[in-house]
Amino acid sequence: MNKEVIYIEPEDDITDIIAKIEDSKEKIVALVPPKKAGVFRSVVNIKLIAKAGKTSEKSVVLVTIDPSITKLAAASKLPVAKNLQTAPVIPVVESGVEESSSEQVDEDGKTQTDDKGEEEAEEAPKEEKVEGVNKEEEKDEDSDEDEDEEEEEKKEAEKPKKKERAKTKGGLIGWIKEHKKLSAVIGIGILCLIIFLIWALFIAPAVDVFVSIKTDTNNFSEVVSFVKDQSQENIEEGKIYLEERKIESVQEVQFEATGTKNRGEKATGDLVIYSYFSAEGMNPVNVGTVFKISGLSYIASENVTLSWDGSLSSCENKDNSNDPVIDHGKIKCLISGRVSVSAAEAGEKYNIAKSSTGWDTVANVAVYSDKAMGGGTDDVITVVQQSDIEKVRGQLEEANGADDKEKLYSSIPEDSLVLESTFSQTTSSATSTPAVDEEVKEGVKPILKTVTTTSVYTIDKTKLEELIRSKVSIVDNKKIFEIRNMYIDGFRELEGGFTGKLKAVYFTGPRITESEVVEKIKGKGLGDARREISDIEGVSEVKMSPSYSWVFSVPTDSNRITTTFEIKDQNGQMIEEKVDDGKKSEEESAE
């Protein structure tokens, strides 16, 4: 056991000396007082030094031949050595005179009498302290002799300590009873130390593993069929469901109705009709025939056949016998009849008095009313007319589907591929509410409305990825990490379906899972674990980050190992897909 030699300076006080004893890392502390050491002339200070040695569990030895210091050390049972090479003893002084004999502490904690103390004191020169220091320096030069002396000195230095422990009543238990507060503090400290060691060695150790993987870039191109009936979808046969997504939007605009309509009663009456007939036959009057009287239109309510009264005076081109000569239609006779009519529209203006004969160029007959028309009334309302609609139709067309495409695309899930070539937008015919010629009530504005349908076809990207993975052949120790830039080239409609060429870029790399990485490295040193992962083909970089500086190996508990994967393409761009945790790889292996 080594010892520490502390040379006391003249200016050191008792607190400095005690602090040096407590700060010493050795179990044996040799104190060498100076020539003029006033601090060692007090029995209280000597006792404090002895107590400091007991408290810090160190054997304190005074290296001195000063009889006054030796006497005080004897009273405090503090071991004294004449120099750094002699064994320490507890001096015995009686009646104020220093005896030649002294107690020496043996290895068993017992004291032995040393009868050579006075002779050694006489033989030792006054500069023994200096010689002791020099001898200790010479001790390093003579290895064989010094080792024996050092062993003997260690044993002698431990004897006072054993003796002091033997003198403690009740041993350790007695000491604990005597120093209850200190014992409690020491106990709490030991408990905290144990808890800290358990935490530091078994709980705290953890390792974060960072693995960077570099992938290979590959191109995919294959003709695919598309069906609009989902029940016909078949990934293995290359048939993918084509889903139509659409939204409908209603565009409305209010407008002013300027039309009017008379909902009153229609005037009715009779008209006398006459005309000339020829050999070709008499002219009939049919229901719905329109006649004009005083610029107003009246409509026949019945079918009437005009007849001849037989009078030759009503005929043209007669011979001298007053008989009509019917010769190829050249002779015409007057025919007439009476027909019931109603006004073409409601209104009091159709209530006309009887009129004289006038030729109706429309019906090509002569008509007149021999009695007044009556019964017509007025009830004028506001209605929508076609010209009102035409005025606002342009405003409605400008609003049709302006934002519908953006709304439709925002509603499509991110995992869907949009076929831009199938985008369409149709608008229904404008309809008015109320309709044309219908009444518009007071305080209400009519509305012109159209419905715009916006649609586009989409494909589920996961189905396309599934198709690509089923068509691509890769070695067992590699996998597809990500598929990018999928699009359909040459999409067109065929009889019974659609077709197009599916093109994409896919990235392949090592088939590695988190569980495989953990199994490879747990329990190994950080350096070995790093090399173990770096040897995997496709792994470009590995980093190990222990939780604390004292952690030099990977824990055996898998829960204390965190793995992070960084996947990049050949251009250094990140690939989003995460490495499997092991379950997916097992399923793929089973397949």
Asked if the model's pLDDT at residue 512 lies above 80, the reply is: yes
- Give, in order, the Cα–Cα distances in Å from 511 to each of 76, 155, 265, 477, 579: 78, 67, 92, 5, 9
Residues 408 and 412: their CA atoms lie apart, in Å, by 7
Q: How confident is the model at residue 443 (pLDDT cuts 50, 70, 90)?
A: confident
Residue 453, H or E segment:
strand 447-460
Residues 225 and 240: their CA atoms lie apart, in Å, by 6
SS3 readout for 9-52? CCCCCHHHHHHHHHHCCCCEEEEECCCCCHHHHCHHHHHHHHHH
Report whether the peptide linkage leading into residue 546 is cis, meaning its omega lies within 30 degrees of zero. Answer: no
Tokens of 313: 């005076």
Q: How many helices and strands, by DSSP H and E, does the chain display?
A: 14, 30
CB 352 within 8 A of CB 294: yes
What confidence score (pLDDT) does residue 412 get?
Answer: 92
Q: What is the pLDDT of residues 130-176, one digit of tens each?
A: 333 333 433 443 444 444 445 555 555 555 555 555 444 557 777 87
Residue 370, H or E segment:
none
Asked if the model's pLDDT at residue 59 lies above 80, the reply is: yes
Residues 97 and 115: their CA atoms lie apart, in Å, by 15
User: Where is pLDDT greater, at 122 or 478?
Assistant: 478
Residues 338 and 144: their CA atoms lie apart, in Å, by 166
What confidence score (pLDDT) does residue 315 get?
Answer: 67
Q: What is the pLDDT of residues 529-563, one digit of tens each?
A: 888 888 888 888 899 888 888 788 888 888 888 88
What amino acid is encoded at 94 in this protein? E
Residues 138 and 132: their CA atoms lie apart, in Å, by 10
Residue of 382, 378, 379, 380 lying closest to 441 (CA atoms): 382
What confidence score (pLDDT) does residue 362 get?
Answer: 61
Return the sign of the alpha-carbon dihedral for residues 536, 537, 539, 542.
positive
Residues 301 and 375: their CA atoms lie apart, in Å, by 15
Q: How far is CA 444 from the centre of its chain?
A: 52
Asked if the model's pLDDT at residue 110 lies above 70, the reply is: no
CB-based contacts of 68: which residues, under 8 Å, 6+ apart? 41
Residue of 374, 384, 383, 385 lying closest to 265 (CA atoms): 374
CB-based contacts of 489: which residues, under 8 Å, 6+ apart? 500, 501, 502, 503
Q: What is the largest CA-CA distance in the chain?
A: 208
CB-based contacts of 181: which residues, under 8 Å, 6+ apart? none
Residue 202: DSSP 8-state: I
What confidence score (pLDDT) does residue 108 get?
Answer: 37
What confidence score (pLDDT) does residue 267 get?
Answer: 92
pTM value is: 0.46
Annotate 26-51 with b (16+ C-beta within 10 A) or e (fewer).
Answer: ebbbbbbbbeebebbeeeebbbbbbe
Asked if the model's pLDDT at residue 196 lies above 90, the reply is: no
What confidence score (pLDDT) does residue 151 get?
Answer: 54
Q: What is the pLDDT of residues 377-428, one digit of tens each?
A: 988 888 888 888 888 877 776 666 668 888 899 999 999 999 998 999 888 8
Please return the burial class of 105, using the count of CB atoms within 10 Å of its CB with bins 0-12, 13-18 and 19+. Answer: buried
Q: Which of 86-95, 289-298, 516-525 has the lowest mean pLDDT?
A: 86-95
Residues 475 and 511: their CA atoms lie apart, in Å, by 10
What confidence score (pLDDT) does residue 473 get?
Answer: 86
What confidence score (pLDDT) does residue 220 get?
Answer: 93
Q: How far is CA 275 from the centre of its chain?
A: 94
Q: What is the pLDDT of residues 454-501, one digit of tens each?
A: 999 999 999 999 999 988 888 888 888 889 899 999 999 887 789 999
Residues 559 and 518: their CA atoms lie apart, in Å, by 9
User: Where is pLDDT greater, at 198 or 485?
Assistant: 485
Highest mean pLDDT among 34-43, 68-77, 271-280: 68-77
What confidence score (pLDDT) does residue 265 get?
Answer: 92
Annotate 361-383 with b (16+ C-beta within 10 A) or e (fewer).
Answer: eebebbbebeeebebbeeeeebb
Q: What is the pLDDT of residues 168-191, one digit of tens each?
A: 455 777 787 778 888 888 888 888
Beta strands 266-277 and 216-227 are: unpaired
Average pLDDT score, the chain: 77
Tokens of 8: 């006391």
Residues 303 and 334: their CA atoms lie apart, in Å, by 19
What confidence score (pLDDT) does residue 272 get?
Answer: 86
Asked if the model's pLDDT at residue 264 lies above 60, the reply is: yes
Q: What are phi and psi of 268, to 5 degrees?
A: -130, 165
Strand ranges (DSSP E) for 306-439? 307-308, 333-346, 358-360, 365-368, 380-383, 416-427, 431-433
Q: How far is CA 557 from the centre of its chain?
A: 29
Return the sign of the alpha-carbon dihedral for residues 122, 127, 128, 134.
negative
CB 270 within 8 A of CB 301: no
**How many other C-beta atoms can be found within 10 angstroms of the C-beta atom of residue 395?**
12
SS3 readout for 106-164? CCCCCEEEECCHHHHHHHCCCCHHHHHHHHHHHHCCCHHHHHHHHHHHHHHHHHHHHHH
What confidence score (pLDDT) does residue 215 get?
Answer: 87
